[in-house]
Structure 1
């Protein structure tokens, strides 16, 4: 997927600084158009038409001032109404290839964003949603793609590879084992390991990503809850982007943002790219 149009919704608050910087960096890197969206409250009907016009001009000027990089092509959109609906409408209108969003983990607004706006975007937008947490100090260097060997995680991997062709890529698979294995029975453990190895091999072979991309793949298979395995990997490998599908066989990639995906959004220290499988309604 080539990034041609990136949509960045902003409310001008401080929590938009990091996602704005990343949106600008991606637009510059990909030579993509950057569309800035601001959702206004319903207009004050008591204002005169000239006053409303002046207010809109002021907001649009402020919106344009968000980006001072002359190498980036910037378009602005002002909308009214529900924030999520406005973002979805704008994304469809401009045919956005990526929606860049921020997240706050320290107040009630953050809970609201994770629980409703981001979830609605992921469920209904045709474009992937990039949730930015870290400062955009450089291009993405190390990318982790969570996989449960489903078609959904394959789609997420293909999207990540296409968007960030220069990043190192690790396929991450977390597994649990039956209780009897925990008690020391080696037979089930060996069978499980063989099954995982077979599934992994079949999954990689089935990917239509080309040999060059296939050779870029590193693999990390570990036991434990996926959120913990992912957190450990991000911290030890200095991963700066996690890619997560939003439909698949496990709770990690539930049709809506399930508890595991919410945990990844809340706990991972890196940015998270959420990719909805096309054709799932």
Structure 2
């Protein structure tokens, strides 16, 4: 079973959704939660321990889950990743900073830093925790990080079903408009997709449905989320390069901002977490 869950809070309303989801997962996994509020030394003298404990208890709903409070004296972005390492956590849970007038979720620098440096998967929560994750969409470009992301997520959510999505396009499409070219490309992509599936462990493969979609990764994922009531999106990344080299390319940051569902980011190094 997974280990501890680390969840960060700055006492804003957006963090409450992350806390609720962390508690729901802790109940499902029979584990405990470490609730982190970082005390930035640049902001002056911190409140007393008693004041902090009272504030922490005020954001916790009634629950039988064991919750430990941590108050590292460090910037939030450094602190959350550090606590996860110290606690031997299996997951970090964070809330999106806020929702702006352009219908985008603003992640904030702390979320971006944690994603790039976390030793474990990072769950960015945008929705209320009304039910377990049951239908999960995983983007793939057939490279190792996307396989690792799928297998790691399958370990964390053993009862969920998976949609494995790969989007493709015709190279130099403006000059290659013949229908047979598109069909040849689709056939080649399907062959690679089948080979990729053979690399996935058999138990995980039983829970996977594949979607080969013509178009952009962002468009393919939006379509799947809209049509299949997806609960969670999974993105695989290349370690510290994270969002700049995500397994679905440069669209990862945009997907994190724009898609209105919770997103799990799994780094290649998380394979051994």
Specify every segment of 5 or more residues in structure 2 that has no aligned partner in the other structure, as ranges.
Answer: none
- Runs of 4+ more than 6 Å apart: none
Aligned to 2:12: 13
Aligned to 2:149: 156
Q: How far apart are 1:69 and its partner, in Å?
A: 3.6
TM-score, structure 2 as length reference: 0.88
Q: 2:252 aligns with which of 250, 256, 261?
A: 261
* SS of residue matched to 1:80: coil
Larger radius of gyration: 1
TM-score, structure 1 as length reference: 0.86
Q: How far apart are 1:247 and its partner, in Å?
A: 2.5
Contact 2:22 2:33 in 1 (8 A): yes
Aligned to 1:106: 100
Q: In 1, distance between residues paired with 2:22 and 2:44?
A: 32
Q: How far apart are 1:159 and its partner, in Å?
A: 1.1
* SS of residue matched to 1:153: helix
Contact 1:128 1:276 in 2 (8 A): yes
Deviates most, 145-154 or 181-190? 181-190
Q: How far apart are 1:184 and its partner, in Å?
A: 3.5
Q: In 1, distance between residues paired with 2:225 and 2:111?
A: 22
CA deviations over 1:170-206 (Å, ceiling 9, x no partner): 0010111123577532332222112111111100011
Q: How far apart are 1:154 and its partner, in Å?
A: 0.1
Match status 1:206 vs 2:199: yes
Contact 1:27 1:33 in 2 (8 A): yes
Equivalent pairs counted in the alignment come to: 266
Aligned to 1:240: 231
Q: How far apart are 1:63 and its partner, in Å?
A: 1.3
User: Kindly tell me: are residues 142 and 255 of structure 1, through their superposed partners in 2, closer, same or farther at Cα, counting changes over 3 Å?
Assistant: closer
Counterparts in 2 of 1:1-281, with a 5 A limit? Answer: 2-42=1-41, 44=44, 55-103=48-96, 104-106=98-100, 111=106, 113=108, 116-180=109-173, 184-207=177-200, 209-210=201-202, 212-247=203-238, 254=245, 259-278=250-269
CA deviations over 1:72-122 (Å, ceiling 9, x no partner): 011110122311111111111111110000112227996461xx3222212
Q: In 1, distance between residues paired with 2:105 and 2:210?
A: 32
Q: How far apart are 1:270 and its partner, in Å?
A: 1.1
Specify every segment of 5 or more residues in structure 1 that has no aligned partner in the other structure, as ranges.
Answer: 46-51
CA deviations over 1:7-60 (Å, ceiling 9, x no partner): 001011111121111011001111111000001243746xxxxxx7x7221112
For the aligned residue pairs, the C-alpha RMSD in angstroms reads: 2.7
Contact 2:246 2:252 in 1 (8 A): no
* SS of residue matched to 1:3: coil
Q: How far apart are 1:231 and its partner, in Å?
A: 1.0
Q: In 1, distance between residues paired with 2:264 and 2:51?
A: 33
* SS of residue matched to 1:179: coil
* SS of residue matched to 2:206: helix
